[in-house]
Structure 1
Amino acid sequence: MTQAKSRKRAISGWIVLDKPYDMTSTQAVGKVRWLLSAAKAGHAGTLDPLATGILPIALGEATKAVPQVQDGTKIYRFAIGWGRATSTDDTEGEVIATSDIRPERGALEAVLPRFIGTILQRPPAFSAIKVDGERAYDLARAGEAVELAARPIDIDHIALIEHGTETSVLEVTCGKGTYVRALARDIAEALGTVGHVTSLHRAAVGPFTDKDAISLAALEAAEAGPARDALIAPVALGLAGLPEIRLDAGQAGAVSHGNTILLTGAGAPVALEECWTSFKGQVLATGSVEYGQFKPRRVFNL
């Protein structure tokens, strides 16, 4: 007799997962969706299988806030292994170059300011960037030479946490599109040597940080039902980095139907590139303010 399929639930919110090592982001989303019997789920920013840390998983209506989280600032802690370059710029690839040069602490600290601000970065050949409709990593795995064009990225801060002869640990605060593997490669090259990422942990994505994270083991250990559902963070948490506009009942009714409204009151904003509106603590819509009017882009059905 075939077992009946579990009923999918229309639940909304965030699971701020501390993604384990050697699991893809897609696998993590699938596992969380299954554990919660969620009808809809997605992640806010891919994390490599060999990386650990913050993987925000959106459930239901929270998927509408994924772009805002993806565009948020990120913090990574990573280790550079000195003296070996690999084809993937991490431990998964083959060694393609070696060097006997091991940078001293002072030299490493002196070179880091070069990588702060808006800089040009050449993404790794093994990346998800598309080349003529194909993923770069698929072409690279097929043995094709992949040379990706450099692109601008924003790095707010980078600091040395630990330094050793063979490995150094750094922390970087950066914007969307930054490849930490490429950053490690370029830092090593600037020091006249080669290197690759030996460990990588994402400590923050937008409003989500390590303190918000839950392990997959803890999620599995929680009893299915109210106990497991209690681990779901509210949809609004994903929008915490944006201005919030609280509406009255009449305004909320108009916005919930996708209508533009005039914002009134002494403190009403005149112009905002991006913001969100709420009523009694619930997210209503994301959008913008122009000439004192809120124009919804995405309406939430909570």
Structure 2
Amino acid sequence: MNDLPPTEQNPPLAEMPRGGDRRPPEARRQPRGGPRPDRPKKRDVSGWVILDKGVGMTSTHAVAVVKRAFNAKKAGHAGTLDPLASGILPIALGEATKTVPFVMDGRKAYLFSVTWGIETDTDDAEGRPVATSEARPERAAVEAALPNFVGSIEQVPPRFSAIKIAGERAYDLARDGEVVELQARLVQIDHLSVVEHTPERTVIAAECGKGTYVRALARDLGRMLGCYGHVSALRRTRVGPFVEADSCNVTALEAAGPDGNLPHLRPVETALDAIPSVAISRDMALRLMRGQPVILRGRDAPVEGKIFATCGGILVAVGDVERGELVPHRVFHLGGTAGGRQA
């Protein structure tokens, strides 16, 4: 029984924390072991970072690394790149996340290696063999087969893909041992060419549109040649307007720190290079930022189509022009740190 009067050293029982911690209240506010260091405050950073992702890293991890490197509040990527693959992974920070669909709809370029003689259940080197052959194709046979896969073609995606079936990812169903039947989809492949060839392996350059699976291409090419095949190496060299010359790697980002990384930040509107732009007045910009349409005047003003609007060189909105009126669909607030338009 506590018969002593309450004091700072002897607080009333009602004020004592569970566990009998008798430290004064101001001491109990600090965690044991001393105060924790303040975490860097997240910043409003907007722009595109063109990451050269290494083999073994997931796209989700890559986004987290870039977000931390810039101390950014918001980040996302424009098109998943498998852990097996390396190369261009555009990462949007802040307001640039609003332009992700424009990049994902852009053309992509790849360099990939097909190893002959084995088809796997994942259509790449991480899978289990499901068919084998002793046959190996000649270079001329590979080159003769490639035109069959150029143009608008139907392609059955790999069973281990992110496509949803009744709300479930195909790769989750496949890993659980379920039989996954995916429907063929129309994809666009613009270019295929042989870069290197040996009896065991062929390196191919490809340019294609959204939704094309290089793994499926290697699988189908191996079946056509009667020797089977799978992707054993894959590198993405371009996504929309972003190419290898624009890229940086994780090591450089982690070494530079948030302020030192700003030169790697490309303007938000870089993602919009495929559509025209129009300069508008401040009053028009204010209307667009409130979600209101504006009339575009002048001899050269567009009357139809998708455009983006700038005011004083700063991106304001993306929208559609209908009978000379710009209707905004995406409005931007670039008041924080943002990559500037580069000459």
TM-score range, shorter chain: over 0.9
3-state SS of paired residue (1:214):
coil
Match of 1:156 in 2: 190
Match of 2:273 in 1: 240
Give the letter for the 2:102 counterpart: Q
3-state SS of paired residue (2:326):
strand
Distance 2:179 2:224 in 1: 23
Match of 1:261 in 2: 294
How far did residue 277 of structure 1 move? 1.2
3-state SS of paired residue (2:64):
helix
Match of 2:26 in 1: none
3-state SS of paired residue (1:253):
helix
Distance 2:286 2:259 in 1: 30
> Rg: which structure is higher?
2
Larger mean Cα displacement after TM superposition, 252-261 or 48-57: 252-261
Q: Is the contact made by 2:238 and 2:244 (CA closer than 8 Å) also made in structure 1?
A: yes
Could you report, residue by residue, the CA deviation over 1:94-131 in whole angstroms, capped at 9, with x for unpaired residues? 11111111111111111111111111000000000111
Distance 2:86 2:313 in 1: 32
Q: Equivalent of 1:137, from 136, 148, 171?
A: 171
1:125 aligns with 2:155: no
1:39 aligns with 2:73: yes
3-state SS of paired residue (1:202):
strand
Q: How do 1:202-217 residues align onto structure 2 when only pairs under 5 Å count?
A: 202-217=236-251
- TM-score where L is the length of structure 2: 0.85
3-state SS of paired residue (1:145):
coil
3-state SS of paired residue (1:203):
strand
Match of 1:227 in 2: 260
1:171 aligns with 2:205: yes
Runs of 5+ consecutive residues of structure 2 not aligned to the other structure: 1-33, 335-343
Could you report, residue by residue, the CA deviation over 1:127-164 in whole angstroms, capped at 9, with x for unpaired residues? 00111111100111111111111010111111111111
Q: Equivalent of 1:218, from 233, 252, 257?
A: 252
Distance 1:164 1:220 in 2: 39
3-state SS of paired residue (1:32):
helix
Runs of 5+ consecutive residues of structure 1 not aligned to the other structure: none
Q: Equivalent of 1:279, from 311, 317, 334?
A: 311
CA RMSD of aligned residues (A): 1.1
Could you report, residue by residue, the CA deviation over 1:247-292 in whole angstroms, capped at 9, with x for unpaired residues? 12232222122211111111111111x2211112211111111111
Give the letter for the 1:148 counterpart: L
Give the letter for the 2:263 counterpart: A
How far did residue 44 of structure 1 move? 0.6
3-state SS of paired residue (2:284):
helix
1:112 aligns with 2:150: no
3-state SS of paired residue (1:289):
strand
Match of 1:185 in 2: 219
Q: Alignment identity in percent?
A: 51
Distance 1:3 1:147 in 2: 53
Match of 1:28 in 2: 62
Give the letter for the 1:300 counterpart: F
How far did residue 6 of structure 1 move? 2.6
Could you report, residue by residue, the CA deviation over 1:222-264 in whole angstroms, capped at 9, with x for unpaired residues? 1x24322221111111111221122122322221222111111
Q: Is the contact made by 2:69 and 2:258 (CA closer than 8 Å) also made in structure 1?
A: no
Which 4+ stretches in 1 moved above 4 angstroms?
none
Q: Is the contact made by 2:71 and 2:258 (CA closer than 8 Å) also made in structure 1?
A: no
Distance 2:208 2:195 in 1: 16
Distance 1:299 1:144 in 2: 44
Q: Equivalent of 2:88, from 25, 29, 54?
A: 54
Distance 2:322 2:111 in 1: 39
3-state SS of paired residue (1:245):
strand
Match of 2:328 in 1: 296
Give the letter for the 2:270 counterpart: L
Give the letter for the 1:4 counterpart: D
- TM-score where L is the length of structure 1: 0.97
Distance 2:192 2:227 in 1: 19
Give the letter for the 1:51 counterpart: A
Distance 1:210 1:151 in 2: 29
Distance 2:227 2:293 in 1: 57
Give the number of aligned pairs: 300
Give the letter for the 1:71 counterpart: D
3-state SS of paired residue (1:275):
strand
